[in-house]
Structures are given as structure tokens and as C-alpha cells.
């Protein structure tokens, strides 16, 4: 088993001296898979080349599943790049899970606490968008572990405290790229008044429970990914498509499955290289920098109007 072992000092919520993400030795960095703490190369401003009037639903973009899941061993860990590095690498869809305890929103993957709170996420996004105003960030937000069904008020309070209200895209409607620049678009996966777009309004494929690493189970997962990507190419361009290439179970830990799915995804997308195709959002565990760039490159050739 390969994994990364590093100390992440970028999170301010808790003392860092005893917090180390380490689920094994021999971290590896491939074009399609990376469990090291640093991307091979960065794509911080790739959205600058997209037309102002192009609908965001027509943009192909890379994302991470359980974006902040850096700790908890191989069953819980889904990524090795900290949030800031993911954004700099070109990731534009974030999957954020919060546990709600008496108005506090801590970051969790299941029972595994991720040594961060929602304010850290907001501060990181706000800082990135201030430095790169041509970009936008989409964030699926849902409650994890706790089942209060009432995180709306806490989310609003955190936005005011750790970012600013105008950072958000305040509409259910799909923005154009010009409207989305500099904005955090909340894909709201919890009850309450609108904070942005509704997550369930997207066309989503999330076949995540892969029972084992047996070839037939991996093939079944890949078939779901492949089929939905093919649908995204020909589907309604006004609707955003979201395909999860991630999955897990007790017998198929995220890193082990990513080592089997990510190469297939990379080969599939590389087979379409040089073409302008809308694949929508592709969400992964442990993506490599070249896989991220391959996804981004499907948007190239559409230059931003001056």
C-alpha cells in the first residue's frame, strides 16, 4: 500500500505538533495518481481562457471527493494535497462534509475528524479567489455524522465570520463564466433557504459503494463512470453533469480503488485529447496533476473575450 506521510501546517483550528497525515510509506506521484503532499505542477488561473458568456454548465472541470479527508488512515483518507494546493493545482469542485455540534461546523469523513472546521475552508477559498479573481469555486456542502438537519444558520454565521456574504453566488440559476468569476458557488445539499444552487439539480453519477477490489467490481465502477461521461458529452448543455470516479468500502479503500480507476479515467480522457468536449465535473480521489490538466484542457481553444 502506498500513501503519503506529512505534516500539514496550513490549518489553524488545532495545534499541529501531533497532527500528521500518515497512512504508509513510499508515497507515489504518477500522471493519474498522486498521494504526495505537493502537486507535480499547478494550474491556478486556467479559467481565464473561458468566454464570459459561456454557461458554467458547459465547462469541464476537475474536482475532489471528500476534499478535506487528509487524515484517519487508508479507509478515511481520500486526498493528500491540502486545500490550498488543490485549488492551485486546478481543482474547482470541492466536496465538503461538516459535523454540526451546537452551532459549530467541524470537518469530518464519517467518524474521522479532519482537524479543521468550516471556517478554514471558507478562508482558504476566499484567499484563493482574491489572488485569482478569474476563477470560480463550486462547493458541495452537506452534513456528515451528525443528523441535525439544521446547519443553515451555522453556515450563514461562518460565511459572515470567515469570509463575506458577497463571496457567494446567490441564485439557483446557472451562472455564466463571467458572472461566476471570483465567486464561491455553494451546491446546497442540506435543507434551508437558498444559499446558491441546489446540489440535487445536477445530473449526478455517484456509484460509490464498491464492495471489493475484485476485477468485476472495479469494472462495474468504471462502467458507471464511463457511461455518465459519455452522457455528459451529448447531454443537455444547460444542465451541469457531475461524475464521481471515487468509491470505497471496507475491502476497497479509497487509495487502492483510485489506483485502479484513475489510470482508466486518464487513458479514456487522453483518447479524446485535442477535442472540445463537455464532460462536466469529474470528481476523484488522489488525482495526479496530469490527470487534472487533461480534464482542464477540454476547455482550451475558447478564449475569453476582451
- Determine, yes or no, domain membership for 69: yes
CA distance 200 to 35: 30
- Residues forming beta bridges with residue 242, ordered by sequence position: 204, 281
Query: What's the domain count of the chain?
Result: 1
**pTM (2 d.p.):** 0.91
Query: DSSP assignment of 123-158, as one string?
Result: HHHHHHHHH-TT--EEEEEEE-S---S--HHHHHHH
CB atoms within 10 A of CB 12: 12
- Determine, yes or no, domain membership for 10: no
Residue with cell 469523513: 109
CATH number at residue 162: 3.20.20.190
- Determine, yes or no, domain membership for 143: yes
What's the confidence (pLDDT) of residue 38? Answer: 98
- Determine, yes or no, domain membership for 72: yes
Grid cell of 70 as nine digits: 487528509
Residues of the chain scoring pLDDT < 70: 1-25, 301-306
- Determine, yes or no, domain membership for 304: no
Which domain range does residue 93 map to? 24-299
Residue with cell 497512512: 23
Q: 140-173, pLDDT tens digit by residue?
A: 999 999 999 999 999 999 999 999 999 999 999 9
Ramachandran region of residue 107, left (φ > 0), alpha (ψ -120 to 50) or beta?
beta
What's the confidence (pLDDT) of residue 120? Answer: 99
- Determine, yes or no, domain membership for 191: yes
What's the confidence (pLDDT) of residue 25? Answer: 58
CA distance 221 to 228: 11
Grid cell of 280 as nine digits: 462536466
What's the confidence (pLDDT) of residue 104? Answer: 98
What's the confidence (pLDDT) of residue 178? Answer: 98
Amino acid at each position: 500500500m502506498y500513501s503519503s506521510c506529512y505534516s500539514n501546517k496550513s490549518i489553524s483550528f488545532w495545534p499541529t505538533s501531533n497532527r500528521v497525515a500518515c497512512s504508509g510509506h513510499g508515497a507515489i506521484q504518477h500522471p493519474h495518481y498522486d498521494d504526495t503532499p505537493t502537486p507535480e505542477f499547478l494550474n491556478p488561473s486556467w479559467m481565464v481562457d473561458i468566454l464570459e458568456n459561456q454557461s458554467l454548465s458547459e465547462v469541464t472541470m476537475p474536482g475532489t471527493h471528500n476534499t478535506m479527508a487528509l487524515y484517519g488512515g487508508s479507509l478515511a483518507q481520500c486526498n493528500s494535497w491540502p486545500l490550498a494546493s488543490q485549488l492551485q493545482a486546478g481543482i474547482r469542485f470541492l466536496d465538503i462534509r461538516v459535523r454540526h455540534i451546537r452551532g459549530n461546523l467541524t470537518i469530518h469523513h464519517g467518524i474521522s475528524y479532519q482537524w479543521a472546521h468550516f471556517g478554514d475552508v471558507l478562508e482558504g477559498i476566499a484567499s484563493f479567489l482574491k489572488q485569482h479573481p478569474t476563477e470560480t469555486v463550486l462547493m458541495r456542502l452537506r452534513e456528515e455524522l451528525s443528523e441535525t438537519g439544521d446547519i443553515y444558520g451555522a453556515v450563514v454565521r461562518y460565511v459572515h465570520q470567515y469570509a463575506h456574504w458577497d463571496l457567494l453566488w446567490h441564485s439557483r440559476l446557472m451562472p455564466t463564466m463571467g458572472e461566476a468569476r471570483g465567486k464561491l458557488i455553494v451546491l446546497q445539499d442540506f435543507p434551508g433557504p437558498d444559499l446558491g444552487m441546489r446540489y440535487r439539480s445536477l445530473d449526478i453519477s455517484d456509484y460509490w459503494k464498491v464492495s471489493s477490489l475484485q476485477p468485476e467490481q472495479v469494472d462495474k465502477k468504471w462502467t458507471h463512470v464511463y457511461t455518465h461521461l459519455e452522457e455528459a458529452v451529448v447531454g443537455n448543455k444547460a444542465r451541469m453533469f457531475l461524475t464521481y470516479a471515487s468509491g470505497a468500502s471496507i475491502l476497497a479503500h479509497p487509495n487502492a480503488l483510485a489506483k485502479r480507476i484513475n489510470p482508466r479515467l486518464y487513458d479514456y480522457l487522453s483518447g479524446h485529447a485535442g477535442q472540445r468536449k463537455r464532460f462536466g465535473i469529474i470528481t476523484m480521489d488522489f488525482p495526479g496533476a496530469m490527470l487534472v490538466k487533461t480534464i482542464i484542457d477540454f476547455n482550451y481553444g475558447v478564449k475569453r473575450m476582451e
